[in-house]
Amino acid sequence: MTQVQINLQVFPPMPVVLVGTHVAGRPNFMAQGWITRCNYEPPLLAVAINKGHYTYEGIMQTRQFSICIPGRDLLLETDYCGIVSGRDEDKADLFEVFYGNLPSAPLIADCPLNLACYVVNELEFTTNTLFIAEICEAYADNTKMDGTRPGFREIDPFILTMPDNSYWSLGEPIGKAWQDGKKLDGE
Amino acid sequence: MTQVQINLQVFPPMPVVLVGTHVAGRPNFMAQGWITRCNYEPPLLAVAINKGHYTYEGIMQTRQFSICIPGRDLLLETDYCGIVSGRDEDKADLFEVFYGNLPSAPLIADCPLNLACYVVNELEFTTNTLFIAEICEAYADNTKMDGTRPGFREIDPFILTMPDNSYWSLGEPIGKAWQDGKKLDGE
Protein backbone atom coordinates (compact mmCIF):
# COMPACT_ATOMS: atom_id res chain seq x y z
CA MET A 1 0.00 0.00 0.00
CA THR A 2 1.59 3.21 -1.20
CA GLN A 3 -1.37 5.56 -0.68
CA VAL A 4 -0.63 8.55 1.52
CA GLN A 5 -2.77 11.53 2.50
CA ILE A 6 -1.97 14.73 0.64
CA ASN A 7 -3.15 18.34 0.58
CA LEU A 8 -6.85 18.67 -0.33
CA GLN A 9 -6.12 21.04 -3.22
CA VAL A 10 -6.23 18.34 -5.91
CA PHE A 11 -7.43 19.10 -9.45
CA PRO A 12 -8.29 16.65 -12.19
CA PRO A 13 -6.65 17.60 -15.52
CA MET A 14 -8.55 20.47 -17.12
CA PRO A 15 -9.27 21.71 -20.63
CA VAL A 16 -8.06 25.25 -21.30
CA VAL A 17 -10.69 27.58 -22.74
CA LEU A 18 -11.22 31.29 -23.14
CA VAL A 19 -14.39 32.75 -21.63
CA GLY A 20 -15.54 35.81 -23.54
CA THR A 21 -18.16 38.35 -22.55
CA HIS A 22 -18.84 42.04 -22.85
CA VAL A 23 -17.85 44.33 -20.00
CA ALA A 24 -18.67 48.00 -20.27
CA GLY A 25 -19.57 47.39 -23.91
CA ARG A 26 -16.20 45.92 -24.91
CA PRO A 27 -15.34 42.27 -25.60
CA ASN A 28 -13.14 40.77 -22.90
CA PHE A 29 -11.58 37.31 -22.48
CA MET A 30 -10.22 35.29 -19.58
CA ALA A 31 -8.48 31.90 -19.46
CA GLN A 32 -10.44 29.21 -17.67
CA GLY A 33 -10.02 25.55 -16.73
CA TRP A 34 -12.93 24.99 -14.35
CA ILE A 35 -15.57 23.98 -16.87
CA THR A 36 -17.66 20.91 -17.60
CA ARG A 37 -20.71 19.86 -19.56
CA CYS A 38 -23.53 19.15 -17.10
CA ASN A 39 -26.59 18.12 -19.15
CA TYR A 40 -26.98 16.53 -22.54
CA GLU A 41 -30.27 17.96 -23.86
CA PRO A 42 -30.66 20.88 -23.56
CA PRO A 43 -26.87 21.16 -23.91
CA LEU A 44 -25.74 22.76 -20.67
CA LEU A 45 -22.30 23.54 -19.34
CA ALA A 46 -21.07 24.77 -15.97
CA VAL A 47 -18.20 27.19 -15.54
CA ALA A 48 -16.84 28.38 -12.17
CA ILE A 49 -15.74 32.00 -12.45
CA ASN A 50 -13.76 33.66 -9.68
CA LYS A 51 -15.86 36.52 -8.37
CA GLY A 52 -12.91 38.89 -8.37
CA HIS A 53 -12.54 38.75 -12.15
CA TYR A 54 -13.67 41.42 -14.57
CA THR A 55 -15.38 38.66 -16.57
CA TYR A 56 -17.61 37.95 -13.57
CA GLU A 57 -18.99 41.48 -13.75
CA GLY A 58 -19.67 41.10 -17.46
CA ILE A 59 -21.52 37.82 -17.14
CA MET A 60 -23.60 39.14 -14.24
CA GLN A 61 -24.60 42.10 -16.43
CA THR A 62 -25.13 40.47 -19.80
CA ARG A 63 -26.01 36.84 -18.84
CA GLN A 64 -24.17 35.85 -22.01
CA PHE A 65 -20.69 34.51 -22.61
CA SER A 66 -18.66 32.52 -25.09
CA ILE A 67 -16.50 29.45 -24.59
CA CYS A 68 -13.69 29.52 -27.13
CA ILE A 69 -11.37 26.51 -27.32
CA PRO A 70 -7.91 27.59 -28.45
CA GLY A 71 -5.30 25.44 -30.16
CA ARG A 72 -1.68 25.28 -29.05
CA ASP A 73 -0.82 28.17 -31.40
CA LEU A 74 -2.79 30.50 -29.07
CA LEU A 75 -1.07 29.33 -25.85
CA LEU A 76 0.69 32.63 -25.17
CA GLU A 77 -2.40 34.74 -25.87
CA THR A 78 -4.56 32.43 -23.75
CA ASP A 79 -2.17 32.51 -20.81
CA TYR A 80 -1.93 36.29 -21.16
CA CYS A 81 -5.72 36.43 -20.77
CA GLY A 82 -5.30 34.53 -17.50
CA ILE A 83 -2.69 36.93 -16.16
CA VAL A 84 -3.84 40.40 -17.20
CA SER A 85 -7.21 41.75 -16.06
CA GLY A 86 -9.55 43.56 -18.40
CA ARG A 87 -9.63 46.26 -15.71
CA ASP A 88 -6.01 47.09 -16.58
CA GLU A 89 -5.69 46.21 -20.26
CA ASP A 90 -8.17 46.15 -23.12
CA LYS A 91 -7.98 42.59 -24.49
CA ALA A 92 -10.53 43.13 -27.27
CA ASP A 93 -7.86 43.45 -29.96
CA LEU A 94 -5.87 40.32 -29.06
CA PHE A 95 -8.11 38.25 -31.33
CA GLU A 96 -10.23 38.60 -34.43
CA VAL A 97 -13.72 38.64 -32.93
CA PHE A 98 -16.98 37.64 -34.59
CA TYR A 99 -20.53 37.16 -33.35
CA GLY A 100 -23.45 34.80 -33.74
CA ASN A 101 -26.88 35.77 -32.47
CA LEU A 102 -25.82 36.62 -28.89
CA PRO A 103 -24.46 40.18 -28.95
CA SER A 104 -22.51 39.81 -25.66
CA ALA A 105 -20.85 36.49 -26.52
CA PRO A 106 -17.74 37.43 -28.55
CA LEU A 107 -16.35 34.50 -30.56
CA ILE A 108 -12.76 34.14 -31.75
CA ALA A 109 -12.07 33.50 -35.42
CA ASP A 110 -8.67 31.94 -34.61
CA CYS A 111 -10.16 29.39 -32.18
CA PRO A 112 -11.08 26.02 -33.70
CA LEU A 113 -14.24 25.74 -31.55
CA ASN A 114 -16.57 28.47 -30.30
CA LEU A 115 -19.73 28.22 -28.20
CA ALA A 116 -22.21 31.03 -27.56
CA CYS A 117 -23.96 30.52 -24.22
CA TYR A 118 -26.80 32.00 -22.21
CA VAL A 119 -26.89 31.77 -18.39
CA VAL A 120 -29.83 29.79 -17.04
CA ASN A 121 -28.82 29.36 -13.38
CA GLU A 122 -25.99 30.04 -10.97
CA LEU A 123 -24.65 28.81 -7.64
CA GLU A 124 -22.57 31.11 -5.50
CA PHE A 125 -19.66 29.81 -3.42
CA THR A 126 -17.06 31.63 -1.34
CA THR A 127 -14.58 32.49 -4.10
CA ASN A 128 -16.36 31.39 -7.28
CA THR A 129 -19.79 31.48 -8.89
CA LEU A 130 -20.78 28.43 -10.91
CA PHE A 131 -22.69 29.63 -13.95
CA ILE A 132 -24.94 27.09 -15.63
CA ALA A 133 -25.46 28.03 -19.27
CA GLU A 134 -27.14 26.67 -22.33
CA ILE A 135 -25.11 26.32 -25.50
CA CYS A 136 -27.15 28.32 -28.02
CA GLU A 137 -24.78 28.21 -31.01
CA ALA A 138 -21.61 26.33 -31.88
CA TYR A 139 -19.04 27.31 -34.51
CA ALA A 140 -15.97 25.49 -35.71
CA ASP A 141 -13.07 26.15 -38.03
CA ASN A 142 -14.16 24.02 -40.96
CA THR A 143 -10.54 23.07 -41.69
CA LYS A 144 -10.37 21.36 -38.28
CA MET A 145 -13.35 19.06 -38.55
CA ASP A 146 -13.33 15.29 -38.93
CA GLY A 147 -16.40 15.00 -41.10
CA THR A 148 -19.26 16.55 -39.12
CA ARG A 149 -17.39 16.24 -35.80
CA PRO A 150 -14.64 18.35 -34.29
CA GLY A 151 -11.27 16.75 -35.12
CA PHE A 152 -9.33 16.99 -31.89
CA ARG A 153 -6.00 16.06 -33.52
CA GLU A 154 -6.46 19.07 -35.82
CA ILE A 155 -7.85 21.32 -33.07
CA ASP A 156 -4.73 20.62 -30.96
CA PRO A 157 -6.28 21.74 -27.65
CA PHE A 158 -4.20 21.93 -24.52
CA ILE A 159 -4.66 20.70 -20.99
CA LEU A 160 -3.86 22.34 -17.64
CA THR A 161 -2.72 20.52 -14.51
CA MET A 162 -2.60 22.14 -11.08
CA PRO A 163 -0.99 22.88 -8.69
CA ASP A 164 2.09 22.38 -10.86
CA ASN A 165 0.49 24.87 -13.32
CA SER A 166 1.64 23.06 -16.44
CA TYR A 167 0.12 23.12 -19.91
CA TRP A 168 0.23 19.82 -21.79
CA SER A 169 -0.46 18.94 -25.38
CA LEU A 170 -2.96 16.23 -26.17
CA GLY A 171 -0.95 13.03 -26.68
CA GLU A 172 -1.88 10.01 -28.75
CA PRO A 173 -5.23 8.26 -29.13
CA ILE A 174 -4.96 5.29 -26.72
CA GLY A 175 -8.45 3.84 -26.79
CA LYS A 176 -12.11 4.11 -27.65
CA ALA A 177 -14.67 4.98 -25.00
CA TRP A 178 -17.72 2.74 -24.49
CA GLN A 179 -15.90 0.11 -26.51
CA ASP A 180 -12.50 -0.99 -25.14
CA GLY A 181 -13.96 -2.07 -21.80
CA LYS A 182 -16.01 -4.76 -23.56
CA LYS A 183 -12.79 -6.78 -23.70
CA LEU A 184 -13.21 -7.40 -19.96
CA ASP A 185 -16.83 -8.54 -20.22
CA GLY A 186 -17.34 -12.11 -19.08
CA GLU A 187 -13.90 -12.38 -17.48
CA MET B 1 -13.27 33.23 -42.42
CA THR B 2 -13.53 29.48 -42.05
CA GLN B 3 -15.98 29.37 -39.12
CA VAL B 4 -19.13 27.36 -39.77
CA GLN B 5 -22.05 26.49 -37.54
CA ILE B 6 -22.01 22.93 -36.20
CA ASN B 7 -24.17 20.70 -34.00
CA LEU B 8 -24.61 22.09 -30.47
CA GLN B 9 -23.32 18.90 -28.87
CA VAL B 10 -19.77 20.16 -28.38
CA PHE B 11 -17.62 19.02 -25.45
CA PRO B 12 -14.35 20.47 -24.24
CA PRO B 13 -11.72 17.76 -23.62
CA MET B 14 -12.45 15.98 -20.34
CA PRO B 15 -10.45 14.22 -17.64
CA VAL B 16 -11.46 10.59 -17.12
CA VAL B 17 -12.21 9.65 -13.52
CA LEU B 18 -13.99 6.90 -11.65
CA VAL B 19 -16.82 7.91 -9.33
CA GLY B 20 -17.20 5.47 -6.46
CA THR B 21 -20.02 5.19 -3.96
CA HIS B 22 -21.91 2.55 -2.04
CA VAL B 23 -25.15 1.19 -3.46
CA ALA B 24 -27.07 -1.35 -1.44
CA GLY B 25 -24.07 -1.61 0.85
CA ARG B 26 -21.56 -2.54 -1.88
CA PRO B 27 -18.87 -0.37 -3.46
CA ASN B 28 -19.66 0.55 -7.06
CA PHE B 29 -17.78 2.58 -9.65
CA MET B 30 -18.68 4.41 -12.84
CA ALA B 31 -16.54 6.19 -15.45
CA GLN B 32 -17.09 9.94 -15.63
CA GLY B 33 -15.84 12.89 -17.65
CA TRP B 34 -18.24 15.63 -16.65
CA ILE B 35 -16.40 16.99 -13.62
CA THR B 36 -14.75 20.26 -12.60
CA ARG B 37 -13.44 22.01 -9.53
CA CYS B 38 -15.82 24.87 -8.68
CA ASN B 39 -14.44 26.59 -5.56
CA TYR B 40 -10.97 26.92 -4.12
CA GLU B 41 -11.52 27.10 -0.36
CA PRO B 42 -13.42 25.10 0.79
CA PRO B 43 -12.26 22.78 -2.01
CA LEU B 44 -15.42 22.00 -3.97
CA LEU B 45 -15.97 20.04 -7.12
CA ALA B 46 -19.03 19.57 -9.35
CA VAL B 47 -19.86 16.29 -11.07
CA ALA B 48 -22.83 15.78 -13.41
CA ILE B 49 -24.21 12.27 -12.95
CA ASN B 50 -26.78 10.84 -15.34
CA LYS B 51 -29.91 10.15 -13.32
CA GLY B 52 -30.36 6.74 -14.92
CA HIS B 53 -27.13 5.40 -13.43
CA TYR B 54 -26.87 3.08 -10.44
CA THR B 55 -24.28 5.49 -9.00
CA TYR B 56 -26.93 8.20 -8.91
CA GLU B 57 -29.02 6.09 -6.52
CA GLY B 58 -25.99 5.50 -4.30
CA ILE B 59 -25.03 9.17 -4.06
CA MET B 60 -28.63 10.18 -3.36
CA GLN B 61 -28.68 7.67 -0.48
CA THR B 62 -25.22 8.10 1.03
CA ARG B 63 -24.35 11.72 0.08
CA GLN B 64 -20.78 10.48 -0.20
CA PHE B 65 -18.64 9.51 -3.17
CA SER B 66 -15.06 9.19 -4.28
CA ILE B 67 -13.28 10.63 -7.29
CA CYS B 68 -10.50 8.24 -8.31
CA ILE B 69 -8.15 9.32 -11.09
CA PRO B 70 -6.86 6.29 -12.98
CA GLY B 71 -3.65 6.01 -14.95
CA ARG B 72 -3.49 4.62 -18.46
CA ASP B 73 -2.89 1.10 -17.06
CA LEU B 74 -6.50 1.10 -15.83
CA LEU B 75 -8.03 2.20 -19.17
CA LEU B 76 -9.84 -1.09 -19.82
CA GLU B 77 -11.21 -1.35 -16.28
CA THR B 78 -12.27 2.30 -16.35
CA ASP B 79 -14.06 1.96 -19.67
CA TYR B 80 -15.70 -1.25 -18.44
CA CYS B 81 -17.11 0.77 -15.52
CA GLY B 82 -18.64 3.12 -18.09
CA ILE B 83 -20.28 0.32 -20.04
CA VAL B 84 -21.57 -2.15 -17.45
CA SER B 85 -24.11 -1.05 -14.82
CA GLY B 86 -23.79 -2.05 -11.18
CA ARG B 87 -27.41 -3.20 -11.54
CA ASP B 88 -26.17 -6.02 -13.76
CA GLU B 89 -22.65 -6.75 -12.53
CA ASP B 90 -20.96 -6.35 -9.16
CA LYS B 91 -17.94 -4.13 -9.83
CA ALA B 92 -16.65 -4.14 -6.23
CA ASP B 93 -13.93 -6.69 -6.99
CA LEU B 94 -12.51 -4.97 -10.08
CA PHE B 95 -10.19 -2.94 -7.86
CA GLU B 96 -8.42 -3.13 -4.52
CA VAL B 97 -10.61 -0.82 -2.42
CA PHE B 98 -9.62 1.12 0.69
CA TYR B 99 -11.33 3.77 2.80
CA GLY B 100 -10.58 7.02 4.55
CA ASN B 101 -13.01 8.46 7.03
CA LEU B 102 -16.06 8.45 4.72
CA PRO B 103 -17.52 4.93 4.83
CA SER B 104 -19.45 5.29 1.55
CA ALA B 105 -16.57 6.73 -0.48
CA PRO B 106 -14.59 3.71 -1.71
CA LEU B 107 -11.07 4.59 -2.83
CA ILE B 108 -8.94 2.59 -5.27
CA ALA B 109 -5.45 1.50 -4.25
CA ASP B 110 -4.37 1.21 -7.90
CA CYS B 111 -5.40 4.81 -8.73
CA PRO B 112 -2.66 7.43 -8.38
CA LEU B 113 -5.10 10.02 -6.97
CA ASN B 114 -8.18 9.51 -4.80
CA LEU B 115 -10.58 12.08 -3.34
CA ALA B 116 -13.24 11.39 -0.71
CA CYS B 117 -16.15 13.82 -1.09
CA TYR B 118 -19.32 14.81 0.72
CA VAL B 119 -22.30 16.31 -1.14
CA VAL B 120 -23.14 19.86 -0.09
CA ASN B 121 -25.60 20.87 -2.81
CA GLU B 122 -27.14 19.67 -6.04
CA LEU B 123 -28.83 21.04 -9.16
CA GLU B 124 -31.20 18.85 -11.11
CA PHE B 125 -31.41 19.04 -14.91
CA THR B 126 -33.35 16.94 -17.40
CA THR B 127 -30.89 14.05 -17.77
CA ASN B 128 -28.23 14.80 -15.17
CA THR B 129 -27.91 15.97 -11.60
CA LEU B 130 -24.95 18.21 -10.82
CA PHE B 131 -23.64 17.26 -7.39
CA ILE B 132 -21.54 19.87 -5.62
CA ALA B 133 -19.26 18.19 -3.12
CA GLU B 134 -16.51 19.14 -0.71
CA ILE B 135 -13.21 17.29 -0.94
CA CYS B 136 -12.77 15.94 2.61
CA GLU B 137 -9.68 13.78 2.11
CA ALA B 138 -7.13 13.31 -0.65
CA TYR B 139 -4.83 10.32 -1.13
CA ALA B 140 -2.07 9.73 -3.63
CA ASP B 141 0.24 6.92 -4.62
CA ASN B 142 3.44 8.18 -3.02
CA THR B 143 5.48 6.78 -5.91
CA LYS B 144 3.66 9.17 -8.27
CA MET B 145 4.30 12.44 -6.51
CA ASP B 146 6.59 15.25 -7.59
CA GLY B 147 7.67 16.37 -4.15
CA THR B 148 4.48 17.32 -2.29
CA ARG B 149 2.47 17.71 -5.53
CA PRO B 150 0.88 15.10 -7.78
CA GLY B 151 3.30 14.30 -10.62
CA PHE B 152 1.09 14.18 -13.68
CA ARG B 153 3.77 12.61 -15.89
CA GLU B 154 3.95 9.71 -13.40
CA ILE B 155 0.17 9.61 -12.87
CA ASP B 156 -0.33 9.23 -16.64
CA PRO B 157 -4.00 10.27 -16.62
CA PHE B 158 -6.07 10.09 -19.77
CA ILE B 159 -8.40 12.46 -21.53
CA LEU B 160 -11.75 11.89 -23.25
CA THR B 161 -13.01 13.74 -26.30
CA MET B 162 -16.60 13.56 -27.54
CA PRO B 163 -18.50 12.92 -29.73
CA ASP B 164 -15.64 10.97 -31.33
CA ASN B 165 -15.39 9.05 -28.02
CA SER B 166 -11.61 8.83 -28.04
CA TYR B 167 -9.26 8.42 -25.10
CA TRP B 168 -5.96 10.32 -25.38
CA SER B 169 -2.79 10.20 -23.37
CA LEU B 170 -1.42 13.36 -21.87
CA GLY B 171 1.21 14.62 -24.30
CA GLU B 172 4.23 16.78 -23.56
CA PRO B 173 4.56 19.80 -21.27
CA ILE B 174 4.24 22.78 -23.63
CA GLY B 175 4.10 25.72 -21.25
CA LYS B 176 3.67 27.15 -17.77
CA ALA B 177 0.39 28.70 -16.72
CA TRP B 178 0.32 32.22 -15.26
CA GLN B 179 3.82 32.64 -16.62
CA ASP B 180 4.21 32.18 -20.39
CA GLY B 181 1.69 34.90 -21.19
CA LYS B 182 3.96 37.50 -19.59
CA LYS B 183 6.00 37.34 -22.80
CA LEU B 184 3.19 39.32 -24.47
CA ASP B 185 3.03 42.00 -21.79
CA GLY B 186 3.86 45.43 -23.12
CA GLU B 187 3.64 44.37 -26.76
Q: How far B85 CA sits from the closest chain A CA (Å)?
A: 12
Q: Distance (Å, rounded) from C-alpha B116 to C-alpha B101?
A: 8
| Cβ pair A185:B109 closer than 8 A | no
**Bridge partners (DSSP) listed for residue A122:** A131
Owning domain of residue B93: 14-184
Contact B75, B81 (CB under 8 A): no
User: Do the chains contact at A180 and B76, CB–CB below 8 Å?
Assistant: yes
> What's the rounded mean pLDDT across residues A166-176?
98
How much is the pLDDT for A140? 98
pLDDT tens per residue across span B95-111: 999 999 999 999 999 99
**Distance between B9 CA and the closest CA of chain A, angstroms:** 7
Instruction: Confirm whether B57 is domain-assigned.
Output: yes
Report yes or no on whether pTM surpasses 0.95. Answer: yes
Using a pLDDT cut of 90, give the percent of chain A over it: 96
Nearest chain A residue to B135, by CA? A8
Q: Per-residue pLDDT averaged across B24-47, rounded?
A: 97
Residue B73 domain-assigned (yes or no): yes
- Mean residue pLDDT across chain A: 96
Residues contacting B123, CB < 8 A, separation 6+: A38, A121, A123, A132, B129, B130, B132
Confidence of residue B92 (pLDDT cuts 50, 70, 90): confident
Residue among B10, B100, B143 whose CB faces A113 most closely: B10
Q: Which residue from B69, B163, B184 is facing A149, i.e. has the nearest CB? A: B163
In three-state secondary structure terms, A181 is helix
d(CA B94, CA B78): 10
What CA–CA distance (Å, rounded) separates A172 from B45? 28
Look at residue B6 and tell me if it is in a domain.
Answer: no
CA distance B164 to A146: 9
Of A48, A150, A183, the CB nearest to B76: A183
| Interface contact flag, A128 B14, Cβ < 8 Å | no
Res. B186: pLDDT tops 90: no
* CATH number, position A60: 2.30.110.10
Q: A182, B83: Cβ pair inside 8 Å?
A: yes
Q: Is residue B2 part of a domain?
A: no
State the total domains in chain B: 1
Contacts with A65 from chain B: Cβ below 8 Å: none
* Residue A93 located in a structural domain: yes
Q: Which residues in chain A touch residue B180, judged by CB atoms under 8 angstroms apart?
A: 75-76, 79, 167
| Cross-chain Cβ contact B107/A3 below 8 Å | yes
Q: Which long-range contacts (CB under 8 A, 24 or more apart) does A182-185 make?
A: A182/B80, A182/B83, A183/B76, A184/B76, A184/B77, A184/B80, A185/B80, A185/B83, A185/B84
- This model of the complex carries an ipTM of 0.96
> Would residue A61 count as lying in a domain?
yes
- Contact by Cβ (8 Å): A69, A160: no
Residue A184 pLDDT class (50, 70, 90 cuts): very high
Q: Do B177 and A169 touch (CB under 8 A)?
A: no
Task: Give domain status of residue B175, yes or no.
Answer: yes
| Residues B174, A183: C-beta atoms closer than 8 Å | no
Tell me the percentage of chain B whose pLDDT exceeds 90. 96
Residue A5 lies inside a defined structural domain of this protein: no
